[in-house]
Amino acid sequence: MPAVTVQTTSANGIEIAYEAFGSPGDPPVLLVMGLGTQMLGWDDDFCQGIADRGHHVVRFDNRDVGLSTHFHDAPTPDPAGAMGGDVSSASYRLEDMADDAVGFLDALGLDSAHFVGVSMGGMIVQTVAIEHPDRVRSLVSIMSTTGNPEVGVATPAAVQALLKPAASSKEEMIDSTVDSFRVIGSPGFPFDEERLRTRAALSYDRAYDPAGLGRQLVGIFASGDRTPRLGGIAAPTLVIHGREDPLVSFSGGEATAAAIEGAELIAIDGMGHDLPREVWPRIIDGIVETVSRGEAAVPEGASQAS
């Protein structure tokens, strides 16, 4: 696989770090990662698998993770309070993160792109499609939900894994990551501890910022229920969700697909709140097919990445 290089650009008043795969002349696919997870959560081979199907794939670090801008001077986030309804500690909302993604398109010289989001990333791409429909050629929402607190409800064990105290060392952070994914991961597929440990170590070395995760989490709860506005999304949409997801239960995916007219739903048995290598072919096929539907509606001459 060709080597990828981290690049940075300014967008929506922040710096965004990103990497690209494939040819800039191919249809652009923007990958948006989930809560507290750096772009490394999109495995190199997964990205290349989409690029090899004739797409220009771009992954990036959201605000407050990785090498993108961190809001260190923001008020201390109160995730437990936010989960209980007090969102006064919010520094931003999903709409701001959606604006980051749209500003990122501008920086790349793109009129529009195909958006793929996982978990919080799914919430972000849904918000982009709501707030900036002309920028979205197609939409894939994976293991995400609508913002309705009655769907996608986490198990108590998954909530505990999410809200555990911050690690005090690299080794503790790696062990904590492994322990968390034993709770929220996919029970129907092999547990790849070595891959998790490698990614966690790389993430720690790039930027370990538990407060950033807290700010993102509070921002999710501050953003409310998108269900009424999801019905206005016209872009070709695919929803993918694991039936055994303990962090965002399967009902979140069902509700997302039901809210967006014409959305397709792929339910994956044995899949939890992660992306096991064994399901990549099915997910990549779904992304490629959705991109193809979106490309059919793209005006001739729409810009690609510069």
Q: Distance of CA 184 to CAs 71, 132, 278, Å? A: 27, 32, 17
Residue 302 above 60 pLDDT?
no
Q: What are the pLDDT digits (tens) for 79-116?
A: 999 999 999 999 999 999 999 999 999 999 999 999 99
Q: Report yes or no: 123 and 104 within 8 Å, Cβ to Cβ.
A: no
Q: How confident is the model at residue 59 (pLDDT cuts 50, 70, 90)?
A: very high
SS3 category, 225: coil
Nearest-angstrom CA–CA distance, 135 and 33: 18
Burial class (CB in 10 A: 0-12, 13-18, 19+), 72: exposed
Tell me what percent of the residues of the chain surpass a pLDDT of 70: 96
pTM reported for the whole predicted model: 0.96
130 has a pLDDT exceeding 50: yes
Q: Average pLDDT for residues 123-132, to the nearest whole number?
A: 98
Convert the pLDDT of each residue in 261-271 to its tens digit.
999 999 999 99
- Look at residue 129 and tell me whether its pLDDT is greater than 50: yes
Provide the pLDDT for residue 1. 63
Tokens of 54: 């004739």
Pull the structure tokens for residue 43.
């495995």
| H-run or E-run covering 266 | strand 264-268
* pLDDT at residue 297, rounded to an integer: 78
- Kindly report the average pLDDT of the chain as a whole number: 95
Mean pLDDT of 280-306: 83
Res. 4 pLDDT band, cuts 50 70 90: confident
Question: What's the pLDDT at 205?
Answer: 97
Per-domain boundaries in the chain = 7-295
- Residue 189: pLDDT over 80: yes
User: What is the second-level CATH architecture of the domain 7-295?
Assistant: 3-Layer(aba) Sandwich (3.40)
Residue 102 CA, chain-centre distance (Å), reads 15
- What's the mean pLDDT in 241-248? 98
Q: What pLDDT does residue 174 have? A: 97
Residue with token string 């952070």: 173
pLDDT band (50, 70, 90) for residue 306: very low
Indicate if the pLDDT at residue 304 is higher than 60: no
> For 138, how many CA atoms within 13 A lie in the half-sphere containing its CB?
26
Mean pLDDT value across residues 163-169: 92
pLDDT tens sequence across 5-20? 999 999 999 999 999 9
Residue 70: is its pLDDT beyond 90? yes
Given a cut of 70, whether residue 305 has pLDDT beyond it is: no
